[in-house]
Amino acid sequence: MKLTGEEKEMLGGKEGPVVAEAIDYLVQFGEAFGAEKLIDIVYCHYPAEMGIYEGMVEEAVGYSNTGVRVKVPTTSSTLCSDLEKPEITDIPKPLAELQAKIEPAHRRMGILETYTCTPQLLGFIPPFGSYNALVESSAIIYYNSVLGARTNRGGMFTRFSAVTGKYPLMGYLLDENRKGTHLFKVKLPTEMLENYDVWCALGFHIGNIVGSDVPVIDVPIKHVKQEWLLGLGATLATAGSVTLFHIPGVTPEARTIEEAFHGDVPKDYYEVTEKEINVIYKKLTTIENGAEIDFVNLGCPHYNLEQIRYVADKLDGKRVADGVRCWICTNRMTRKQAEYSGFVEKIERAGAKVIADTCPVESHMRISTCKDFGLKTPNVDAMVCNSGKMLRYVGDLIGCKTALTNIDKCIESAITGRFEL
State the residues that interact with ligand F3S by CB under 6 A.
78, 117, 138, 234, 300-302, 329, 359, 361-362, 389-390
CB of 402 to ligand F3S, least distance (A): 13
Cβ at position 90, least distance to ligand F3S in Å: 17
Q: Rounded to the nearest 5 degrees, what angle is found at the Cα of 149, between the Cα atoms of 143 and 154?
A: 65
Q: Which is nearer to ligand F3S, 181 or 297 (CB)?
A: 297
Contacts of 215 (CB under 8 A, 6+ apart): 180, 181, 182, 183, 184, 206, 209, 236, 242, 245, 246
343 versus 393: smaller Cβ distance to ligand F3S: 393
204: helix, strand or coil: helix
Question: What 3-state DSSP class applies to 250?
Answer: coil
Of 135 and 173, the one with the shorter C-beta distance to ligand F3S is 135
In the complex with ligand F3S, the residue whose CB is nearer, 49 or 362, is 362
Q: For ligand F3S, which is the closer residue by CB, 119 or 180?
A: 119
β-strand pairing of 166-168 with 43-46: unpaired
Q: Are 281 and 193 in contact (CB under 8 A)?
A: no
What minimum distance in Å lies between the beta carbon of 314 and ligand F3S? 20
Residue 305 · residue 337 · CB < 8 Å? yes
Asked if the peptide bond before residue 301 counts as cis, ω within 30 degrees of 0, the response is yes
When the beta carbons of 11 and 359 are compared against ligand F3S, the nearer one is: 359
Q: What is the largest CA-CA distance in the chain?
A: 67
| Cβ 301 to ligand F3S shortest distance, Å | 4
Q: What is the DSSP string of 102-131?
A: HHHHHHHHT------S-GGGGT--PPTT-B
Q: What's the closest the beta carbon of residue 331 comes to ligand F3S, in angstroms?
A: 10
Task: Dump the DSSP string for 262-295.
Answer: TT---SEEEEE-HHHHHHHHHHH--SPTT-B--E
Q: Which is nearer to ligand F3S, 132 or 358 (CB)?
A: 358
Strand partners, 46: 76
CB of 407 to ligand F3S, least distance (A): 15
Of 347, 351, 361, nearest in space to 300 by CA? 361
Q: Which is nearer to ligand F3S, 68 or 298 (CB)?
A: 298
Closest distance of CB 275 from ligand F3S, Å: 27
Q: How far is the CB of 361 from ligand F3S (least distance, A)?
A: 5
Report the DSSP pairing between strands 182-186 and 215-218.
Answer: parallel
Query: Following DSSP, what letter does each residue of 319-354 receive, concatenated?
Result: -PPTT-EEEEEE-HHHHHHHHHTTHHHHHHHTT-EE
